[in-house]
Amino acid sequence: MKTHFAHPFDDDKLKEECGVFGVSGVSDAANFVALGLHALQHRGQEAGGIVSYAPDSGFNSARRFGYVRDNFTKQSLMETLPGELAIGHVRYSTAGSKGAAIRDVQPFFGEFSMGGAAIAHNGNITNADALRRELIERGSIFQSSSDSECIIHLMARSLQRNIPERMEDALRRVEGAFSIVAMTRTKLIGVRDALGVRPLVLGRIEAGGYVLSSETCALDIIGAEFVREIEPGEMVVISDGSVESSFPFRRKASRFCIFEHVYFSRPDSILGGRSVYETRRQIGIELAKESPVEADLVCPVPDSGTPAAIGYSHESGIPYAMGIIRNQYMGRTFIEPTEQIRNMGVRLKLNVNRALIEGKRVILVDDSVVRAPQAARSRK
Amino acid sequence: MKTHFAHPFDDDKLKEECGVFGVSGVSDAANFVALGLHALQHRGQEAGGIVSYAPDSGFNSARRFGYVRDNFTKQSLMETLPGELAIGHVRYSTAGSKGAAIRDVQPFFGEFSMGGAAIAHNGNITNADALRRELIERGSIFQSSSDSECIIHLMARSLQRNIPERMEDALRRVEGAFSIVAMTRTKLIGVRDALGVRPLVLGRIEAGGYVLSSETCALDIIGAEFVREIEPGEMVVISDGSVESSFPFRRKASRFCIFEHVYFSRPDSILGGRSVYETRRQIGIELAKESPVEADLVCPVPDSGTPAAIGYSHESGIPYAMGIIRNQYMGRTFIEPTEQIRNMGVRLKLNVNRALIEGKRVILVDDSVVRAPQAARSRK
Amino acid sequence: MKTHFAHPFDDDKLKEECGVFGVSGVSDAANFVALGLHALQHRGQEAGGIVSYAPDSGFNSARRFGYVRDNFTKQSLMETLPGELAIGHVRYSTAGSKGAAIRDVQPFFGEFSMGGAAIAHNGNITNADALRRELIERGSIFQSSSDSECIIHLMARSLQRNIPERMEDALRRVEGAFSIVAMTRTKLIGVRDALGVRPLVLGRIEAGGYVLSSETCALDIIGAEFVREIEPGEMVVISDGSVESSFPFRRKASRFCIFEHVYFSRPDSILGGRSVYETRRQIGIELAKESPVEADLVCPVPDSGTPAAIGYSHESGIPYAMGIIRNQYMGRTFIEPTEQIRNMGVRLKLNVNRALIEGKRVILVDDSVVRAPQAARSRK
Amino acid sequence: MKTHFAHPFDDDKLKEECGVFGVSGVSDAANFVALGLHALQHRGQEAGGIVSYAPDSGFNSARRFGYVRDNFTKQSLMETLPGELAIGHVRYSTAGSKGAAIRDVQPFFGEFSMGGAAIAHNGNITNADALRRELIERGSIFQSSSDSECIIHLMARSLQRNIPERMEDALRRVEGAFSIVAMTRTKLIGVRDALGVRPLVLGRIEAGGYVLSSETCALDIIGAEFVREIEPGEMVVISDGSVESSFPFRRKASRFCIFEHVYFSRPDSILGGRSVYETRRQIGIELAKESPVEADLVCPVPDSGTPAAIGYSHESGIPYAMGIIRNQYMGRTFIEPTEQIRNMGVRLKLNVNRALIEGKRVILVDDSVVRAPQAARSRK
């Protein structure tokens, strides 16, 4: 754990996270999904999509660039997504794409002979290129540059007679990480790869209905109760108000992604029975024990460094303070004036609280450092 | 100082703040203004406008609803705002308007016989209704429902032969608060009412050029140096790289708005020589002395309650913790699902960190409470 | 009368026409105005605007670039224009504007001490520059570059106590041509200058209600009955279902614009008691008498040359034929491919019916020729 | 042939036409396609799409609702379609769609193992339902509700090793009508079914390059020379500046669609060596012989009835006149005012020239009558 000047979503950090969410057994399911995706927005800010199903109007979908709150709050759009069953996806970016395109936005949908299915995928498929080549060779037409589209094509070609079994078939061909929320006309389906790389949790709505979500914070926003995590290698099929569990994939030793604890997940989520906030605070306590430093103040790089800075302060007794102020109205594409402006990129989001730190010895705590030279440069 | 569950921009808080910003003597002045308005976005999130002047193309303006970063970052728009002189405005809402309209968005512009002028106004005009009636009676045609439009009409009717003197004339008729940034073809003008209700500061760009801004945090974002505050009752006229100061209004005892310290201004701004962050922290220290409570944790209502909670923790020795997590992707207009969801409004932005506070005695610190019943209700 | 290859709205023709329309005494008056403006679209295709008044919601307006049918057909927009009284305007372009701006689109609106008024103007004000200078000198703030805005400012400054009298006051200062449709909260007003340069007619709706329109073809579209033309120098004030007429302006010899007969007006309109179609057909008959030519075919330049070509054919006995086919989907801004394409501008709208005219002697009849060299050039 | 009051694109007429266009061997090919589609707009006004290929940027596509002139004239859009090879499509509506969706707009694109291909299809596939069922059964995922999408999936599944042969394979499975323009990275392909139901012509650009188009009028707009019609059952493959012809489909007796002559095609196009205008004029002459009527005037229902009315007039000697005037600014979705307005739908586009026909015996000539009761009703 190092300290530097950067934001969790800056260019020197990983960008492979996505958020998935699904709900069944409630009226206006798409509105619940919109709220859930809003709570998961930190997992993907570039685009979002929702698919819903209603007996009268069939499957409907809407996919949009931008924040959930700017798109899926419009009455006119939400009315096009009726039904008691819906899933959604927020994403950061798609590997392999030469430019963002709306056709790369999930969920993906396919009409099979036994009815339609939609899937939303969080994870990285390591044999995606080989799968795509093979599927094209056999006559599948890809609509996106997203690796995740392989799954729906594998499902389309499966010889199984029902969709959950087609999904098992398809996922047995997929190597890599997947936490998936999927739906048919009657079923909400959740699956997690055998390594359990990405999180997926099950929730219950008191008035009836089940929820699948990447994180528990999205259960909170709709007042749903946390039931349990989907286990590595597990598939749950929710229909008619009951949850059926199976373990179609060979068991492996769990390899949960440590960056979920460090910065992907929201601090108010619970991962593996532990509060993300508390994990980060403990890392700060540990850091203070490992690397004690004499200083006047402990300051976080907001927002993801905050719990660790609090922990460092608690352990070391050095006062906690806000040495860097974050602009809540994020944005990174301002046109730089032609005059020389130093560190413009950083100043757009973060500003040093100079009156506070001038002449002080400051311990600056961030969540992690991915590329040290970048960090060193921006520190100057 | 009370504690409750609310956000500085929620419905139980005042909404009269605006942000003003101007720059002269730099190429692509409008890009500087866009950055300054972005740093002042917390003073007004509903709409923003920029006016610039270039000898070739005259005055140009752009006014838009929404965030600065979503509008004034587009190359195609910024290219329509050339020149070395520009001013801008961000606003929350306009008193008296029955519905938001783009014609209510500042700066306001008027073409006079000696040339055009644009003004951006932060403050409340207490005799606006009487002024408007009088001006209409004499044949002025108002284009907006904004009180601030009175000023430009008073200027249009002044008998003075130059624009700064017309502005003095106009402002002598205005009762109430004003911090104004204005411009002509060659001059950048700043004025502050004699009571000094709203802030206004002067900055200098190292490479040349002057800046006027509501707060110092907007000087930081463009790397400008803080020179001094504009004094109550002072008018500065900046042209050809020099700043002329005058005091055209009768002196009064200063009555700076306390809410600027409490929650309007950003914590990294300097007001009256004092860091806003430090003022708020001291309020927390004072609160801990006045109202000591036995507890396990001190938690802020993010974000404006944070410095006071830090102060309370420092003074009381009770550990500081993040008991409420704020969703960075603010939004308040989600369509509520028909199922019962409790406290939806609050959960959209704030979520309780239950794993942290369960079973704990928590002191919750916010910046202020405007309407107690609302606070009590939302606390349940 | 010459023959050439050009379209009435091409660059070698006059562009000063506009269309005005108003209706009172019907529910959803704005929908009637939308239909009327659609029928008058040939008088101005660049932009259109509608103002309506309803006791509950006051004055409302909408101004848009583009065709009436693309804007004023949307339920969501038309719902913002309630009431039983509404006026509208379509325009080609505004003299003096350096670029089209929505603030130049009429109707113009002013709030006076006795209430609001909106005006829509068709015509050219010859002393507009002097009026504008004078009004600015006295403190009026212009919002547009349109000459027509002078009228509303003159009204705002009139000392008269009611709006129709303020309008008389204002128009006595105006030199040039005007056919105006205006409205207050209760009155629909029509005025025509003493020379009677531009047309203006009065219609009645069987179910109740009165209509003012530039041309009779816009009465037809809403099934209104043609009552009579507004006379040169006449003002009509329609309120409570009655029409009051007065002649506030000094009489002059009428100087109706001949181009209304020749190409501004639609062929199915009645001007001065004569069908426009029949006038144009008679011109063709006259042309055949004056300039008989031996030929195989008589072909019009569509569409405005058609009636004259029919007349020429009737008189001469030479068969009428469609030698030029017009693309109904007009447009003039296609990006020209880099390869050499001759006469691209013309081919976008008009295509020669080569199979018909090859080897034939053709008399080509257009409505008029403004600039002969242009015509000669495009003929090659 | 009957006479009535209706427009060729009204609800009582067929709506299955589309327009296809392609060009190769010119720089900025997409700009040529935009012009060609503009000239073919009468064949489909609902939506249009263009696909282009350039070695640097690969295949690019843009699909839009609305007129060609409103979309494919924008510099910013056209710049996204670089290359010397491009095809396009305009369409009216898609059989089987429950609502217009952008994914139904052609050209369709597929990435195959040997490279990508795009196709634009005009015609009706009579075995589309069976083909779709079969393809889904085998694992193809359809993206649209368009019958034409079957062709690209059949191509994707063909075992042939190059794209033209895959296309032959696919089209042998298709029953019904097709005139297709397709493209690969290097080839422009045109095909016409063995019955030759829909038209397709080949043109040459003097400066180099070949064109395929539904009608000859789209050759005229870009100044291309008409070479010949693609024959029924013929496939042409254009690459490296040469045209290869083959006849892969079994010969049948040609069954060219008579409605192309009657109203689908533009009068200035040449079909089967005959001018469409002249065919329609001859129909009018024939009608005058078959059904002579005593009358004062012969009037067309504009615009498609015009040539036949001219023919009737020539044969009968009864003067030709414009008894109905057409509004050039078509639109059919105006909100009807609540007051009673008779025949609103018709009046929006067509207005009776009452001054002309009052008291006259009029022969009204239209192109055809599809549903007589509708015609009778609208005649009242």
pLDDT tens sequence across B160-218: 999 999 999 999 999 999 999 999 999 999 999 999 999 999 999 988 999 999 999 99
Mean pLDDT score of chain B: 87
Q: What is the pLDDT of residue A192?
A: 97
Q: Between the ranges A348-362, D60-74, D161-175, where is the mean pLDDT highest? A: D161-175
- pLDDT value at residue D318: 97
D336-378: per-residue pLDDT in tens? 665 555 555 556 788 999 999 999 999 999 987 654 434 333 4
The CA distance from D38 to D23, in Å, is: 14
Q: Is the pLDDT of residue D84 over 70?
A: yes
**Beta carbon pairs, A and D, within 8 Å:** 48
Instruction: Give the three-class secondary structure for C101.
Output: coil
- Does B143 contact C at CB distance below 8 Å? yes
pLDDT score of D234 more than 60: yes
Inter-residue long-range contacts of D326-329, CB under 8 Å, 24+ positions, other chains counted: D326/D302, D326/D350, D327/C38, D327/C39, D327/C41, D327/D351, D328/C41, D328/C42, D328/C303, D328/C328, D328/C330, D329/C38, D329/C41, D329/C42, D329/C45, D329/C67, D329/C68, D329/C69
What is the pLDDT averaged over residues C307-315? 97
pLDDT recorded at residue D370: 52
D153/A133 touch (CB, cutoff 8 Å), yes or no: no
* Chain D residues lying within 8 Å of C335, measured CB to CB: 28, 31, 34, 73, 75, 78
Neighbours of chain C (3+ CB pairs under 8 A): B, D
Residues 185-214 of chain D whose Cβ lies under 8 A from any Cβ of chain A = none
Given C113, C138, C152, which is nearest B137 (Cβ)? C113
pLDDT tens column, C296-307: 999 999 888 999
Q: What percent of chain D has pLDDT over 90?
A: 73
Q: Do C92 and C65 meet the contact criterion of CB atoms below 8 Å apart?
A: no
B140 interfacial to chain C (CB closer than 8 Å):
yes
User: Nearest CA of chain B to the CA of A131: how many Å?
Assistant: 36
Asked, as a colleague might, if the bond just before D367 is cis with ω within 30 of 0, I would say no
Q: What is the mean pLDDT of residues B97-120?
A: 87
Asked whether the predicted pLDDT for residue C4 surpasses 60, the reply is: no
CB contact under 8 A, C338 and D45: no
* pLDDT tier at B333, thresholds 50, 70, 90: low
Confidence at residue D334, expressed as pLDDT on a 0 to 100 scale: 66
CA atoms of C131 and A102, how far apart (whole Å): 54
- The more confidently predicted of residues D258 and D270 is D270
- Averaged pLDDT for residues A193-212: 95
Q: Does C139 touch chain B (CB under 8 A)?
A: yes
Q: List, for residues A344-360, the tens digit of each pLDDT value.
A: 555 678 899 999 999 99
Give the chains touching A; criterion: ≥3 Cβ pairs < 8 Å.
B, D
Buried b (16+ CB within 10 A) or exposed e, D258-294: ebbbbbbbbbbbbbeeebbbbbbbbbbbebbeeeeee
Q: Is A96 left (phi over 0), alpha (psi -120 to 50) or beta?
A: left
Task: Tell me if the pTM is above 0.95.
Answer: no
The confidence band for D10, taking pLDDT boundaries of 50, 70 and 90, is very low
Hey, is the C-beta of B112 within 8 angstroms of any chain C C-beta? yes
Residue of D341, D348, D354 to mutate for C, most C C-beta atoms under 10 A: D341
Percent of chain B with pLDDT over 90: 72
Specify the higher pLDDT residue, D337 or C276: C276
Say what the pLDDT of residue D374 is.
40
Highest mean pLDDT among A243-257, B11-25, D218-232: D218-232
Of A139, A143, A152, nearest to D156 by CB-CB distance is: A139
Mutate to test the interface with C, among D335, D352, D354 (most CBs of C within 10 A): D335
What is the average pLDDT across C238-258? Answer: 91
CA–CA min distance C143, chain B (Å): 8
Q: Give the pLDDT confidence score for residue B6 in this predicted structure.
A: 29
Compare all CA atoms of chain B with the CA of C132 and give the residue at the minimum distance.
B113
Q: Smallest Cα–Cα separation from D75: which of C334, A282, B376?
A: C334
* A374, two tokens: 């970048």
What tens digit of pLDDT does each residue of B339-376 get?
555 555 556 788 999 999 999 999 999 987 654 434 43
Query: Which of D266, D310, D353 minimises the CB distance to C320?
Result: D310
Which of A112, A140, A152 is closest, CB to CB, to D136? A112
Q: What is the pLDDT of residue C252?
A: 84
Where does the pLDDT of residue B336 fall: very low under 50, low under 70, confident under 90, or very high at 90 and above?
low
Out of B111, B136, B157, name the one closest to residue C142 (CB): B111
Which residue in chain C is spatially nearest to B141 when comparing CA positions? C110
Chain-chain contact of A141 with D141 (C-beta, under 8 angstroms): yes
Percentage of residues in chain D having pLDDT higher than 70? 86
Tokens of A356: 């506070």
Q: Report whether pLDDT(A1) > 60.
A: no
Q: Which residue of B has its CA nearest to A346?
A: B221
Check: CB of residue D308 under 8 Å from CB of residue C322: no
Segment A214-241 mean pLDDT: 95
For residue C143, the chain B residues in CB contact (below 8 A) are: 141, 143
Q: In this predicted structure, what is the pLDDT of residue C153?
A: 98
Asked whether the beta carbons of residue D141 and residue A140 sit closer than 8 angstroms, the reply is yes
Q: Please provide the average confidence, as pLDDT, over all residues in chain C.
A: 87
Distance from CA of D143 to the nearest CA of A (A): 8
pLDDT value of position A3: 29
Mark yes or no for CB contact D140/A142 under 8 Å: no
Put simply, the answer to whether B133 touches C113 (Cβ < 8 Å) is yes
DSSP character for B380? -
Residue D379 has pLDDT above 70, yes or no: no
pLDDT of residue D45: 86
Reported as a pLDDT band with limits 50, 70 and 90, residue D98 is: very low
Instruction: Considering only the beta carbons, identify the residue of A78, A277, A337 that sits closest to B322.
Output: A277
Catalytic residue set of A? 18
| List of chain D residues whose C-beta atoms are within 8 Å of the C-beta of residue A157 | 138-139
Q: What angle do CA A167, A38, A95 make, to 5 degrees?
A: 50
User: Which residues of chain A does D153 touch, with a Cβ-Cβ cutoff of 8 Å?
Assistant: 139, 141
**What number is the average pLDDT over the span B279-301?**
96
**Is the Cβ–Cβ distance between D73 and D79 less than 8 Å?**
no
**pLDDT grade for D258, boundaries at 50, 70 and 90:** confident
User: What are the CA-CA distances from residue A286 to residues A189, A290, B321 (Å)?
Assistant: 40, 6, 17
The CA distance from B166 to the nearest CA of chain A, in Å, is: 32
State the pLDDT at residue C348: 76
A71-98: per-residue pLDDT in tens?
998 888 999 999 999 999 999 764 444 4
Q: What's the pLDDT band for B111 if we cut at 50, 70, 90?
A: very high
Q: What does the pLDDT read at residue C378?
A: 40
Q: What is the pLDDT of residue B339?
A: 54
**Mean pLDDT over residues D249-266, rounded?**
87
Residues of D in contact with A144 (CB under 8 A): none
Considering chain C, what percentage of its residues have pLDDT values greater than 70? 86
In this predicted complex, what is the ipTM? Answer: 0.86
pLDDT reading at C12 higher than 70 = no
CA D83 – CA D29 distance, rounded (Å): 6
- Residue B141 at interface with chain C, using a CB cutoff of 8 Å: yes
Q: How far apart are CA C85 and CA C30, in angstroms?
A: 8
- pLDDT of A115: 95
Distance from CA of B137 to the nearest CA of C (A): 6
Residue B46's pLDDT is what? 87
Helical spans, DSSP H, in C228-371: 258-259, 276-290, 306-316, 344-349, 354-357
Range A6-16 average pLDDT: 38
Q: What is the mean pLDDT of residues D237-255?
A: 92
Q: Which helix (H) or strand (E) holds A21?
A: strand A18-24
Q: What is the pLDDT of residue D328?
A: 80
Count how many Cα atoms sit within 13 Å of the Cα of residue C8 in the half-sphere of its side chain: 25
Q: pLDDT at position C380, please? A: 34
Spatial CA neighbour of A145 closest among A166, A116, A125 = A125
Which of C103, C132, C141 is the best substitution to test chain B (most B C-beta atoms within 10 A)? Answer: C141
Contacts of C70 in chain D (CB under 8 A): 331
212-271 in chain D: CB under 8 A from chain A = none
- Nearest residue, CB atoms, B334 vs list A34, A207, A347: A34
Least confident piece of the model among A8-22, A279-293, B158-172, D114-128:
A8-22
Which residue from B133, B152, B158 is facing C141, i.e. has the nearest CB? B152
Q: Predicted confidence band at D96 (pLDDT cuts at 50, 70, 90)?
A: very low
Indicate the average pLDDT of chain A: 87
Mean pLDDT of D265-272: 94
Structure tokens at B53: 């002047």
